[in-house]
Amino acid sequence: MTWQNAINDYKHYLKIERGLSNNSIESYERDVQKLIFYLERHHDLISPIAIDKNTIQSFVYDASKQINARSQSRLISGLRSFFTYLVFEDYRTTNPLDHIESPKTGRKLPDTLSIKEIDSLIEAIDLSKSYNNIYIGERNRAILETLYSCGLRVSELINLKISDLFFEEGFIKVTGKGNKQRFVPIGNTTQKYIHIWKQERNKIDVPTEFKDTLFLNHRGHQLTRAMIFTIIKNLAKAINLNKVISPHTFRHSFATHLLENGADLRAIQLMLGHESITTTEIYMHIDRSHLKDVLLKHHPRN
């Protein structure tokens, strides 16, 4: 079996059997491609059937010189999944990752923005700039408002459809990881900015395949993840923000600010689309100051 055949079969399994999104499948594929690149540089290209634990250990050691512990852990996990699939399909009898431990990474607390910083980023958007008489600043404002007020992942944002907007009910339908759908509340302010953007969007000659996509570029095509990162990076630079931020920073800020204002952790879990509440619990470690206030206010002994 060649590496390409193994990867193609594995991707088919991830899509059909596990129902993963294209982004997740690409991430798993990148892990395997890194191993192949290493083999091409340092060894003969051993087949996925013949590769052994010692070769994998050499690869992991080499990778550890270039990436941090968290990335190493992610890489080992991705490769373990790939070889588990090969064992499951009887291509191999053992998994060469079975006794290779992931480095201890600890628990990384997500970066967040203050409300003032979020307001400053949004205020820095140039609403007067246009392409083909289309005011793209209105789109960018709607994007940031949606990221922050709904806590979306960047992939969920760029795939948001006009048909997913249920403004009369006060919700939007979001398609998350594994194509799982959830309804997230959306406030009046964010609805207002989306309505304004839709008026600009109506000026665009949109190709058939993007007729239902909410956020588009001035040529009528769906935005890429990279474009959202660029928009945010440029705004951070414009206000001299001394933080490295990304679209996910708005998602973290969404959850943190809700928790600090007394929101229920289970409700935050549902809005974020976390499968396990233990993932949501990381926000409990960001700022515990509000917990004292909750205790003093609600405990009968206080």
For residue 163, what is the domain's CATH number?
Answer: 1.10.443.10
Do 155 and 276 lie in one domain? The reply is: yes
Judge whether 73 lies within some domain: yes
Q: Do 82 and 140 sit in the same domain of this protein?
A: no
pLDDT in tens, 34-90: 999 998 887 677 888 889 888 998 888 888 888 888 888 889 999 999 999 999 888
Asked if residue 202 and residue 137 are part of one domain, the reply reads yes
Enzyme catalytic residues: 153, 177, 248, 251, 274, 283
Asked whether residue 169 is domain-assigned, the answer is yes
Q: Is residue 50 part of a domain?
A: yes
Which region among 4-8, 60-64, 236-240 has the lowest average model confidence (pLDDT)? 60-64
**Residue 100, in any domain of the structure:** no
Q: Model confidence at 286, in pLDDT bands (50, 70, 90)?
A: low
Query: Over 90: is that where the pLDDT of 180 sits?
Result: no
Whether 95 is covered by a domain: the verdict is no
- Asked if the structure places residue 94 within a domain, the reply is no
Which pLDDT band, with edges at 50, 70 and 90, does 240 fall under? very high
Identify which of 61, 65, 69 has the alpha carbon closest to the alpha carbon of residue 104: 69
The answer on 56 and 138 residing in a single domain is no
- Its domain, for residue 9, covers 3-88
- The answer to whether residue 279 is domain-embedded is yes
Query: What's the number of domains the chain is made of?
Result: 2
110 vs 73 pLDDT, higher one: 73
State if pTM tops 0.75: no
User: Is 159 inside any structural domain?
Assistant: yes
Check whether residue 80 and residue 159 sit in a common domain: no
